[in-house]
Structure 1
């Protein structure tokens, strides 16, 4: 069988014989997914080892493996096999393994040497999934450190191959696609028209106007189901088929073959049909312009699938599906004036990074080469969560518990919950919860009781689907829970009935940061263990529960709204989270009373359970409380005087002007960050902030600078300077709003500088003073840093104007040789 890529297979083989990295650009339909792995099987450098090919989606992984196996006249699992979540078909004979993204990461983590693997092919890399980016970063690290013979091939249909090849330092080869012209039309929606009705109109129009099958791109299963219901009644005799990631293998196989009876087909698909799959007979594409993509949802703490507009690259790729076998047509269901982003944004810039942070901890470092680096703030938050889950140590190393969590291949929150179960019945219940949390809501009601979802699942298992439940959603959750039990090797069936707080006790291990206690004065408000607040709906099913574990929140300006939660028993929390219950004396500064308060506080993490007056205030706690008050209110709370403030500014100026002095940073941010080092000792034995005098503050601040450097500060940035009149005048130092030094100012009467040609300088001559030249009455006449130029050009005009106004002061014609003075002329002269 000939494919467009067939012509360049010899070039690809030759390039990989001499290079260990390669970028392959090939549009959909070129055959890169199924032809390149087969062409490399007998490459000498492979030496009989395996090829791994990464596919972003399970449907595509199974389809690619099936097509390659069929070309060899074999069944899947012989020379060609696949591994996906909860399913694999490989054997001792398998030389090509098609794997999904999480599987590749596990293989790399379990065997960094990649024994028996000769090459890794990253298919559809333009989709920029988080696991693809991580897999490539890990593979590059392996190649650079221990496997310089490992081949890495990055294949893409729409990514900028030139920039990627530069980044990888790899040759780039491009293949033509099998493509015919595609005519693009924009099919406008009517006023307030639902998507499924617009799809129906477009499909009916396409069936009437154009030959061939129709491929409709929709964002998800809900939209597919709605459109399928409408079309089945409107187009009798035409097959209406769905294609999505949850479809059984048999139905997927049916879609990849022409209709046995030659009937026209309409395929309603998610973006799984964008790449890696070839649907025969498609001549028309109808594109909603929408897709479900992961976005970090702070409400749940997970990445959720949001409906978003696709990128232009995806729109082009979807349209190209209509031109695979003959001239085609594409209907776009958005206005022609709408502008799309050129390329997809990488997932790691917009999703929760807890799983990535755990993978990096397991790998032993975070200095990997990513095409786009993970956002530092998001990564830091993820590591904070992992510490709460006891998956990593405070210094960032993975714990033994963290390794067990990683092996489960799910979000660290769910992994922590699954590991917390004490017996098989609890583990089966945890599997139910994991399936519920990962799935779409099976209830149509807006109840905030997560227990009602589990009860609906239990009823479904007993043949009684609740009226407000979605049966297909419950079936999917039941199947996912079964897969989890199989994976954890749990033979015990989930219980049919449970005690009120059993689910909450499990969920607390997934959300230790969202364990919440009812506010003592307002039963609808709760304080969370992370220190934040939340409230219930007005008609909440959880009203009256003293303790909750919150699975989903809606973050709002003041307090978050609780969307899904479970009650939990305090006794169980005390048993399971014993180290988090603490009682200690705490001292704090009361701003209103301007006094220290000492209390005996009982806490569960950030939740204050009780507070009562304590006895004598401990000096160290008092110093810590006063220091914290300054940290919260700012340095202006301290007793600065002009002399100390100017000394601090002089140090800041020299810090910028002469970095070789290695002076400490005296900016507000730096001083506030180090209060415990320099200010806290000064507060020991004090009970009030105003008990700290300027002398003690000065000593504390100056203590940050070595004595020898203090002498240099006075020499390099003096407070006063001698002028030609014989007097010392003050130098004023200042900073701009952004903290950078302003030019230091010397304000002096003009007559005191007679005979001085050059502008005075400080900081070893690096910084010129700004001269504020004053009249005899102290009013400014000129501001300059060029004294010589002033005498030459400006002084004659100043003299002419000022001589009549101040006749008793000298205004010589030759200021260069006149005697400097601060006095007026004697009377009578």
Structure 2
């Protein structure tokens, strides 16, 4: 093995892991950490013949690393060094270093939690923070803590907050290693705003070919952009000996090898790659990088439970990783298709997948592991509670978890397949129907990009994709579909067929597509609303173009929904018949009696409904709801419409006003404001609603009794004494009190009836003076006062002058305090 910068720190790393259970290695690009580190531990005594597992996030990088390490040992891959990935394994009884891809480590841990044959687990390129890497580390940490104190853990990365990871590893030592990179000049070259991405990339490539030596590596978001950029370049005039090589995850192995291998003498290579080429790979001959600054990732919306693939800007860390690809073997140049100002606004790092992904599979793995939830394990970033809860809810709906959250036998079978829980459940249900060949193809179609392009892609019928795939399998006829996509789907479906021991040639009935999809997406069974709109069983609305044949179906299953608008856009779906729904989802169909308020008749009504999630399959009118249900709905309607619908007679209004008065200075008294009464309807009003079902019935409510029911015996006595309905004035008349303003009750009385009364009458146990409205003989207010004594001393005489001329027959004494009160024109004469 050639000398690499990592060799300088390997002795320190060996010493650390000789005495410590964990370490963190931060090694710059070009240091050689991926291929030189694992072999360095093979002879360590603590390894004692056990194997080394290295988790590599990408298949291409995993295979390349294993092949390179084996070659350095003078062996073929599969001897001392091997690899394990889905659908491709090269190991033997002599293998000591196994490079595994995501998911494989999880399956190994689930089958052997103690990892008895493993001495060291290495997490390479951990900065990518994939969901499986975070899960794998959480499980390995618990295995180490509970079952294997001797198990070593090594976290390796080029760009990572080493101290934060070290803290998670209980203060593990951090080793830094410089890389061996050459200087790379950065050229910011933002394209014109109207130039499509692929054309902008092609322009930048042509500029690079003219200005720089060597091969060119171009970073593009996905396979579609790679294909289009390649077509533009190849349709132009490239210099003789210039070749275009695509590089992405689903590319056939031979084409991947061709992209990574050194160019033949005299040839210039243009490698069009996804972010697969960001780390772990050294592509021989690359001196120039063209970076579009975009990547494709799955984003999950907890609001709808619908993940979607989206294109987002890279982080500064990713941009630096890409830039470094130009300086692995010689000085280079990086053309960035954005401005320096835009670069400054990029996020520092990519968001960890665990914070954005669909967490149903994570929830299934934790249930299989036997922990009650994420809190039982150690995480660098804990799974978001909302996303995790949605994942658990989906697993319960699929029958993978019981009501207590424990994994079911069906859930164990789902986990063993290693597929997303939706696909796993569909595959298992399909097995009971003899429809595994169709289910495998559907699972592959949903996992890969759409087979159709252009106008054909506007038709959302998934059954058309199944037919196109079957036609391709029979005769290699693409029928206008994307050949690369067809090959990728075929490859993926064959893997699933082999896993379920089915043959590719077994018959396929595409008419069952909707039924099988309904097993995977029970929350997205759609019921026709009209005009291409559907209500999904999960409660969300979604729609497709009205001119599509599927738009006329009574029921569909929406396998792919773009949720960016208020109403989701159905991208892929299949028809589900009502008979299939009733037969195969009978266990999830519920009968419910709905008691509801009909605003038109202002009364309680009832109907019996047969429901599947949010979908009403059948509805019939019910004769009469129970009294308890009717009263509950009536109270809800009353709360929505306000207290005005109750029979507020004059005496009841006064009673409530008197109670308000008492509450105004005694806070231990019931609050009878609108807000308080509406909040407590079930306590003070409900007992009086027996047999009532409408606003009309409410007119029979004994409202005064209901209000008095809020008081005990002592309270009612206090009300009579401290908030009387009337006050007897000196004339002997009983005058009603007006409590319209609870803070200042009013006594409206003719002036002559108050002669002889020195002070203002008081209520509230003598604490509150009433507001006197002293009336003229014509019962018009002539004075308002709360201080009667002051009125007699001064204001009375002014009033007397004014009114005596207007009312000469009435009694206007010189001394009102010594005069006889009267409710007549003059007092009775004493004989």
The TM tier, using the shorter chain, reads 0.7 to 0.9
Aligned to 1:29: 30
Return the match for 2:555 from 547, 555, 577: 547
Aligned to 1:329: 333
Distance in 2, matches of 1:65 and 1:647, equals 86
Aligned pairs for 1:681-720 within 5 A: 687=693
Deviations 1:546-584 (A, max 9, x none): 221121234476644433211122222222111233444
Counterpart contact for 2:80–2:96, Cα < 8 Å? yes
Return the match for 1:353 from 359, 368, 383: 359
Deviations 1:639-673 (A, max 9, x none): 997999999999999xxxxxxxxxxxxxx99x99x
Return the match for 2:217 from 192, 203, 215: 215
Aligned to 2:109: 108
Aligned to 1:59: 60
Distance in 2, matches of 1:413 and 1:55, equals 26
> Cα offset for 1:121?
0.9
Aligned to 1:144: 145
Distance in 2, matches of 1:807 and 1:5, equals 106
Q: Equivalent residue of 1:239, what SS? A: strand
Deviations 1:401-422 (A, max 9, x none): 1111111112111111111114
User: For the structure 1 residues 631 and 486, does the alpha-carbon distance in structure 2 shift closer, same or farther, using more than 3 Å as the test?
Assistant: farther
Counterpart contact for 2:462–2:513, Cα < 8 Å? no
Aligned to 2:246: 242
User: For the structure 1 residues 264 and 678, does the alpha-carbon distance in structure 2 shift closer, same or farther, using more than 3 Å as the test?
Assistant: farther
The structure with the largest alpha-carbon Rg is: 2
Aligned to 2:91: 90
Q: Equivalent residue of 1:235, what SS? A: coil
Return the match for 1:599 from 589, 607, 611: 607
Aligned to 1:762: none
Counterpart contact for 1:189–1:334, Cα < 8 Å? yes
Structure 2-normalised TM-score? 0.76
Q: Equivalent residue of 1:45, what SS? A: coil
Distance in 1, matches of 2:666 and 2:139, equals 46
Mapped pair 1:569 → 2:577: yes
Aligned to 1:20: 21
Q: Equivalent residue of 1:406, what SS? A: helix
Return the match for 1:224 from 223, 226, 235: 226
Q: Equivalent residue of 1:542, what SS? A: helix
User: For the structure 1 residues 646 and 524, does the alpha-carbon distance in structure 2 shift closer, same or farther, using more than 3 Å as the test?
Assistant: farther
Mapped pair 1:460 → 2:464: no
> Cα offset for 1:316?
0.9
Instruction: Kindly report the root-mean-square deviation, in angstroms, between the aligned alpha carbons of the 2 structures.
Output: 4.2
> Cα offset for 1:69?
0.9
Distance in 2, matches of 1:326 and 1:335, equals 25
Mapped pair 1:406 → 2:415: yes
Q: Equivalent residue of 2:340, what SS? A: coil
Return the match for 1:374 from 359, 371, 383: 383
Consecutive unaligned residues in structure 2, runs of 5 or more = 669-674, 716-721, 724-742, 745-766, 773-789, 795-815, 818-831
User: For the structure 1 residues 687 and 75, does the alpha-carbon distance in structure 2 shift closer, same or farther, using more than 3 Å as the test?
Assistant: same
Aligned to 1:198: 200
Q: Which segment drifts farther, 355-364 or 674-683?
A: 674-683
Counterpart contact for 1:28–1:157, Cα < 8 Å? yes
Q: Which segment drifts farther, 208-217 or 131-140?
A: 208-217
User: For the structure 1 residues 561 and 227, does the alpha-carbon distance in structure 2 shift closer, same or farther, using more than 3 Å as the test?
Assistant: closer
> Cα offset for 1:687?
3.8
Deviations 1:448-472 (A, max 9, x none): 2111111111221232635442122
> Cα offset for 1:97?
1.1
> Cα offset for 1:534?
3.4
User: For the structure 1 residues 684 and 409, does the alpha-carbon distance in structure 2 shift closer, same or farther, using more than 3 Å as the test?
Assistant: farther
Q: Equivalent residue of 2:326, what SS? A: helix
Consecutive unaligned residues in structure 1, runs of 5 or more = 654-667, 704-710, 712-718, 721-745, 748-772, 779-804, 810-825
Counterpart contact for 2:684–2:707, Cα < 8 Å? no
> Cα offset for 1:154?
1.2
Aligned pairs for 1:720-799 within 5 A: none
Distance in 2, matches of 1:696 and 1:48, equals 88
Mapped pair 1:447 → 2:473: no
Distance in 2, matches of 1:646 and 1:324, equals 86
Distance in 1, matches of 2:275 and 2:427, equals 31
Return the match for 2:514 from 504, 517, 523: 504
Aligned to 1:287: 291
> Cα offset for 1:230?
2.8
Counterpart contact for 1:86–1:487, Cα < 8 Å? no
User: For the structure 1 residues 553 and 253, does the alpha-carbon distance in structure 2 shift closer, same or farther, using more than 3 Å as the test?
Assistant: closer
Q: Equivalent residue of 1:307, what SS? A: strand
Q: Which segment drifts farther, 375-384 or 431-440?
A: 375-384
> Cα offset for 1:83?
1.1
Counterpart contact for 1:425–1:493, Cα < 8 Å? no
Distance in 1, matches of 2:402 and 2:492, equals 31
Distance in 2, matches of 1:51 and 1:395, equals 37
- Equivalenced residues, count: 708
Aligned to 2:319: 315
User: For the structure 1 residues 245 and 536, does the alpha-carbon distance in structure 2 shift closer, same or farther, using more than 3 Å as the test?
Assistant: closer
